[in-house]
Chain A
Amino acid sequence: MITLTPKEQPEVPIEIDTITPDSLAGKSLDEIKNIPILHGNGQVPLADFFEVEGEAGATAAETKILIDGDVSQTKRIGQGMTAGAITVKGSVNNYVGAEMEGGLITVEGDAKGWAGQNMRGGELEILGNAGDYVGSAYRGDWRGMSGGKITVHGDAKNEIAEYMNGGKMVIKGDVAIMPGIHMNNGVLIIEGNVIARTGGEMAGGTIVVKGIIDEFMAGFEYLGVEKDIEVEGEVIPGAFYKFRGDYAIKGAKGTVYAAVAGNAHIAP
């Protein structure tokens, strides 16, 4: 295991997409210390901002990275990793687990925006809150998260699961507006409340909201109440209002389940 202990985090953020189990596997400690990372618009060696200890595994799958402290000014942790594990004992900045294809990332604090952007596989777990665009697409891309699993134990903000194409996302807290915007496939489960625009312009996929949806949209069709719903092989107990849409999109087949408890105001 490689342990990275953060020194003081700078005001101008650093980016460590060059530090993944894939890039560290088989390298010596000295080599790792000298891997360039981005600080503002210049490159510096990893050792400028982290104490580096431990030993990397022979392959990515055998390599674990422990970031032992708060790295809230560090972006792109675990970007594009395919195997192995990264554990962060604090909060992170943008793009944690972006473009990840395999392995496991655990963030024990909060994450800022774009966590798991364009994720293709593996597992990303955030024990605190997440920001906007969890599991979204790069700007202008119409293919978002396509595989893997994201779990956020706290709240998330706007436009999570934007253009989602596959995989699974579970938010245990509340979300702001537009969860599952332009969603095409996959499963989004929100255990808390949603402010508005659940599944806006969704063409496919499934959204389950166990909490309260403040405002719902008129482009959906109401299909009645369903009990103990089955979503991709998993049974979710309870009674749910079922909606199909968003009919603003031609041929839309998305499904939104909203818990009967607390959501009587959105059923017509």
Chain B
Amino acid sequence: MELVKNVVCPFCGTLCDDIICKVEDDEIVGTINACRIGHSKFVHAEGAMRWKKPQVRDENGELVETTYEDAIERAAQVLAKSKRPLMYGWSCTDCDAQAVGMDLAENTKAVIDNTASVCHGPSVLALQDVGYPICTFGEVKNRADVVVYWGCNPMHAHPRHISRHVFARGFFRERGRSDRTLIVVDPRESDSSKLADIHIQVGYNQDYELLDAMRAAMMGHEILYDEVAGVPKEDIEAVVEILKKAQFGILFFGMGITHSRGKHRNIDTAIMMVQDLNNFGKFTLIPMRGHYNVTGFNQVATWESGYPYCIDFATGIPRYNPGETGSNDLLQSKETDAMMVIASDPGAHFPQKSLRRMAEIPVIAIEPHRTPTTELADIILPPAIVGMETDGTAYRMEGVPIRMRKVVNSDLLSDQEILEKLLKRVVELKTASK
């Protein structure tokens, strides 16, 4: 058995870079340091089925094996013919593949969108409106004395997050956990809230109201009501005092606030609260990004087109309007007439109304495993998995790029190679039709 060290975990946005993989016969059989979710990604959860060859549906709707050349030809035909193609996913692949994806979207005049549109899209909208006072994990570990987790449950979704940033000892926080105040804001009791010094049980869908009261109190104003969002006025004032006294505060926030009522406006007011807190001490924030390279897509898309997601190339010039050019908006309004899914699983996570449209239109899936999306797909192109079978660059949730390692070999093409072949063929078809 061989031990491969310093492997980067291709699961969540924490992008742990200290994993050791146990390799036998060119296969990962075990891991050291990884959390349970990361471990099961490396060793393949029981029951998971990999596609070993590209697949296309025959006239009876059954999947049949084919070659990459045939599957790519068919996919290129679909994309070249479509009047409003949608390219969705991108969050579980590397930045180089994403850059080819942007090129492909521009050449097919498509809409390109990533999983942010159903997770931290609201955060991205808010930071465009009001700014982004962010820091890196290293600063959190070494400096933070007040840590707030708002609307997220890292013990389950990012299992090593709390141990690496709250319990860990840092340069100015030599005792680790006991040098920090941990605040969790969550309507429910969770395994994260059990670890907290203060658990604020905000009412469902009332994050905005609570933040509004906190910000008014911070500015020295009286809170209008005795209780806001189920939290007594005195408790709100006490928490505001703790935040104001922080030497270095950090706000981590997740789906519980980005997708409760008001969405990006919740983040907007949270960001502005963090900005205002810098009048008292140092305060920063980091969104708890889910997929390991969801941040990377937003970076790549922004440097290529000026917009982070939901980018509409219909006119040849990038346009941007989540709510109109988001994947779910396009599927539910039946605007899109062909879809390419890569490195994500909308089949499992999109609302039924969106899936109904996916079932009506041609769907191309660039996907290593059998998933609900591939059940809806007409063409399946299986790639090698980035971070295990091929290397590539990913962005950690706070925007630090990390090079992912190749651990074992695969005879499958990488996402980048598949997309490059697809791009070449689409450009040929588009040029021929002019």
Residues of chain A in range 186-227 having any CB-CB distance to chain B below 8 Å: 196-197, 200-201, 215-222
Are the C-beta atoms of A197 and B208 separated by less than 8 Å?
A: yes
Asked if B94 lies at the interface with its beta carbon under 8 angstroms from chain A, I say: no
Asked if A12 lies at the interface with its beta carbon under 8 angstroms from chain B, I say: yes
A96 to chain B, nearest CB (A): 13
Are the C-beta atoms of A219 and B213 separated by less than 8 Å?
A: yes
Are the C-beta atoms of A140 and B272 separated by less than 8 Å?
A: no
Chain A residues with CB under 8 A of B314: 38, 40-41
Chain B residues with CB under 8 A of A246: 212, 216
Measured between alpha carbons, how far is A6 from B225 in the docked complex, in Å? Answer: 54
Which listed residue (A40, A113, A132) contacts B84, Cβ 8 A?
A40
Chain B residues with CB under 8 A of A159: 265
Q: Does more than half of chain B's interface fall in helix, strand or loop, or is it mixed? A: loop
Which listed residue (B213, B224, B261, B320) contacts A139, Cβ 8 A?
B320
Which listed residue (B108, B224, B333) contacts A219, Cβ 8 A?
B224
Are the C-beta atoms of A221 and B224 separated by less than 8 Å?
A: yes
Residue of B nearest to A246 (CB): B212
Measured between alpha carbons, how far is A58 from B228 in the docked complex, in Å? Answer: 60
Measured between alpha carbons, how far is A42 from B269 in the docked complex, in Å? Answer: 40
Are the C-beta atoms of A248 and B269 separated by less than 8 Å?
A: yes
B261 to chain A, nearest CB (A): 7
Residues of chain A in range 110-157 having any CB-CB distance to chain B below 8 Å: 113-114, 132-133, 138-140, 142
Q: Does more than half of chain A's interface fall in helix, strand or loop, or is it mixed? A: loop
Are the C-beta atoms of B128 and A201 separated by less than 8 Å?
A: no
Are the C-beta atoms of A40 and B125 separated by less than 8 Å?
A: no
Are the C-beta atoms of A220 and B337 separated by less than 8 Å?
A: no
A141 to chain B, nearest CB (A): 9
Chain B residues with CB under 8 A of A245: 216
Which listed residue (A13, A200, A215) contacts B265, Cβ 8 A?
A200
Chain B residues with CB under 8 A of A40: 82-84, 314, 337
Chain B residues with CB under 8 A of A63: none
Residues of chain B in range 70-127 having any CB-CB distance to chain A below 8 Å: 82-85, 108-110, 125
Are the C-beta atoms of B216 and A247 separated by less than 8 Å?
A: yes
Chain B residues with CB under 8 A of A12: 83-84, 335-337
Residues of chain A in range 1-55 having any CB-CB distance to chain B below 8 Å: 11-13, 38-42
Known contacts: A113-B324, A142-B129. The answer to whether A248 contacts B215 by CB under 8 A is: yes
Are the C-beta atoms of A219 and B128 separated by less than 8 Å?
A: no
Asked if B315 lies at the interface with its beta carbon under 8 angstroms from chain A, I say: yes
Measured between alpha carbons, how far is A196 from B317 in the docked complex, in Å? Answer: 37
Measured between alpha carbons, how far is A220 from B215 in the docked complex, in Å? Answer: 11
Measured between alpha carbons, how far is A162 from B273 in the docked complex, in Å? Answer: 19
Measured between alpha carbons, how far is A94 from B276 in the docked complex, in Å? Answer: 36
Asked if A81 lies at the interface with its beta carbon under 8 angstroms from chain B, I say: no
Residues of chain B in range 214-243 having any CB-CB distance to chain A below 8 Å: 215-216, 219, 221-225, 228
Chain B residues with CB under 8 A of A201: 212, 265, 268-269, 272
Measured between alpha carbons, how far is A138 from B129 in the docked complex, in Å? Answer: 10
Asked if A178 lies at the interface with its beta carbon under 8 angstroms from chain B, I say: yes
A127 to chain B, nearest CB (A): 22
Measured between alpha carbons, how far is A181 from B267 in the docked complex, in Å? Answer: 13
Measured between alpha carbons, how far is A197 from B219 in the docked complex, in Å? Answer: 19
Which of B272, B314, B337 has the largest count of A CB atoms less than 10 A from its CB?
A: B314
B229 to chain A, nearest CB (A): 9
Chain B residues with CB under 8 A of A114: 321, 324
Chain B residues with CB under 8 A of A233: none
Asked if A237 lies at the interface with its beta carbon under 8 angstroms from chain B, I say: no
Chain A residues with CB under 8 A of B334: 11
Are the C-beta atoms of B209 and A140 separated by less than 8 Å?
A: no
Chain A residues with CB under 8 A of B276: 250
Chain A residues with CB under 8 A of B265: 159, 178, 181, 197, 200-201
Are the C-beta atoms of B216 and A248 separated by less than 8 Å?
A: yes
Chain B residues with CB under 8 A of A85: none
Which of B110, B128, B269 has the largest count of A CB atoms less than 10 A from its CB?
A: B269
Asked if B313 lies at the interface with its beta carbon under 8 angstroms from chain A, I say: yes
Residue of A nearest to B329 (CB): A113
Are the C-beta atoms of A218 and B323 separated by less than 8 Å?
A: no
Chain A interfacial positions (CB closer than 8 Å to B): 11-13, 38-42, 94, 113-114, 132-133, 138-140, 142, 159, 177-178, 181-182, 196-197, 200-201, 215-222, 245-250, 268
Q: List 18 A–B pairs whose Cβ atoms lie within 8 Å, in order of A's numbering.
A: A13-B335, A40-B337, A41-B82, A41-B313, A138-B321, A140-B125, A178-B262, A197-B265, A200-B208, A201-B272, A215-B209, A217-B212, A218-B228, A219-B213, A219-B224, A246-B212, A247-B219, A268-B225
Q: A11-B334, A247-B216 are in contact. List 5 more A-B contacts (CB 8 A).
A: A41-B85, A200-B265, A217-B208, A217-B209, A218-B228
Chain B interfacial positions (CB closer than 8 Å to A): 82-85, 108-110, 125, 128-129, 208-209, 211-213, 215-216, 219, 221-225, 228, 261-262, 265, 268-269, 272-273, 276, 313-315, 320-324, 333-337
